[in-house]
A and B are shown apart, each in its own frame.
Chain A
Amino acid sequence: MLTKRSSSIPGSTRSDCVETNTIITTTCSSGCVGQSENVDRLEGMLAERGVTRRKFLELCAAVAVSLGLSELFVPTIQEAIAESIIGKAEGRLAPVIWLELASCTGCTESFAQAGNPDAATVVLELISLNYSETLSAGAGFSLEEAKEQTIAKGGHIVVFEGAIMEGWDGNALRIANEKNTEIVKHAIHNAKAIVCAGSCAVDGGWQAAKPNPAGATGVQRFLQKALAAGEIDSIPPLINVPTCPSNPEHLVAVLIDVLLLDTLPELDRHNKPSLLFGQFVHDNCPRRGHFENGEFVYKFGSEEEKLGYCLYPLGCKGPQTKNNCPIVRWNRRVSWCVEAGAPCIGCSVSNPKNTTHNWVDSNAPFLKRFRTVRIFGYTFSPVTLAAATGGLVLAALGVHGIGWKITGRFDGGAPFETERAWDLKNPSKAASRTMLQVAAKTDRALSAQLIKEDSLDSYFEGVVHAAAKTKAASLTKVDEVIEAAAADKAAKAAAAAADAAAAAPATSAAEASEKVEGGE
Chain B
Amino acid sequence: MAHLAHYREAHPLAYVITHWINLISIVVLSFTGFVIHFPFLPGIMGICRGTHMFFAIVLVGNMLFRVLSSPFIKSAPAMGTREQVRDIFSFLPQKDNRHQLIPWIKYYLFFKKEHPLSGKYGVPQKLAYLLVPCLIVFIAFTGLCLWVPTGNWFLFAWVTDLVGGIHTIRLIHYLTMWGFLIFTALHIYLSIANGLAPLRMIFFWKEHGGKVYDVKIRNIVGDDPLDDHA
Could you list which residues of chain A lie within 8 angstroms of chain B, going by C-beta atoms? 269, 280, 291-296, 312-313, 317, 320, 346, 349, 351, 353-354, 356-357, 362-363, 369-371, 373, 382, 386, 389-390, 393-394, 397, 400-401, 403-404, 407, 409-423, 431-434, 458-459, 462-463, 465-467, 469-478, 481
Contact = CB atoms under 8 A, between A and B. Distances in A.
B171 A475 contact: no
A416 B114 contact: yes
Contacts of A292: 46
Given A294-B39, A390-B178, A477-B221, A412 B1 contact: yes
Contacts of B115: 413-417
Contacts of A470: 5, 81-82, 212, 222, 224
Contacts of B45: 291, 294, 296
B44 interface: yes
Given A320-B167, A417-B115, A417-B117, A407 B110 contact: yes
Given A414-B115, A420-B99, A320 B222 contact: no
A413 B2 contact: yes
Contact of B222 (A371, A423, A475): A475
Nearest to A346: B167
Given A421-B103, A434-B219, A369 B114 contact: no
B117 A416 contact: yes
Interface residues of B, number: 69
A432 B219 contact: yes
Contact of A459 (B108, B189, B217): B217
Given A296-B42, A466-B81, 11 more contacts: A296-B39, A317-B167, A354-B161, A370-B170, A393-B182, A412-B2, A415-B2, A417-B103, A417-B114, A462-B216, A481-B217
A490 B214 CA distance: 24
A313 B221 contact: no
Contact of B164 (A295, A356, A403, A416): A356
Contacts of B217: 432-434, 459, 462-463, 466, 481
B161 A351 contact: yes
B96 interface: yes
A389 B46 CA distance: 29
Interface string B17-52: 000000000000000000001110011111000000
Contact of A369 (B2, B38, B103, B157): B38
A475 B221 contact: yes
Contact of A472 (B2, B157, B178, B224): B224
Contacts of A356: 164
B98 A466 contact: no
Contacts of B155: none
Top 6 closest A-B pairs, CB basis?
A412-B3, A462-B216, A475-B222, A422-B99, A417-B114, A412-B195
Contacts of B230: none
Contacts of A409: 193
Given A382-B171, A401-B193, A431-B218, A472 B182 contact: no
Interface centre among B96, B148, B181, B221 (most CB of A within 10 A): B221
A442 to B, nearest CB: 20
A384 B96 CA distance: 42
Contact of A397 (B83, B110, B186): B186
Interface centre among B103, B107, B167 (most CB of A within 10 A): B167
Nearest to A349: B165
Given A269-B157, A420-B103, A470-B224, A414 B46 contact: no
Contacts of A404: 193
Contacts of A296: 39, 42, 45
Contact of B171 (A295, A370, A401, A478): A370
Interface string B200-220: 000000000011101011111
A419 B99 CA distance: 12
9 contacts: A294-B45, A296-B39, A320-B167, A353-B161, A386-B178, A417-B117, A466-B81, A467-B221, A469-B83
B191 to A, nearest CB: 11
B70 interface: no
Interface centre among B117, B166, B211, B219 (most CB of A within 10 A): B219
Contacts of A400: 108, 189
Given A412-B210, A413-B195, A467-B222, A432 B165 contact: no
Contacts of B148: 280
A421 B111 CA distance: 13
A421 B167 CA distance: 50
Contacts of A357: 161, 164-165, 168
A371 B175 CA distance: 13
B71 interface: no
Given A413-B195, A475-B222, A420 B100 contact: yes
B42 A420 contact: no
Contacts of A463: 214, 217, 221
A349 B99 CA distance: 51
Contacts of A394: 185
Nearest to A293: B46
Contacts of B1: 411-412
B197 interface: yes
Contacts of A476: 222-223
B194 interface: yes
A472 B220 contact: no
Contacts of B211: 416
Contact of A416 (B171, B182, B220): B220
A312 B100 CA distance: 51
B89 interface: no
A26 to B, nearest CB: 38
B214 A462 contact: yes
Given A370-B171, A397-B186, A434-B217, A362 B164 contact: yes
B156 interface: no
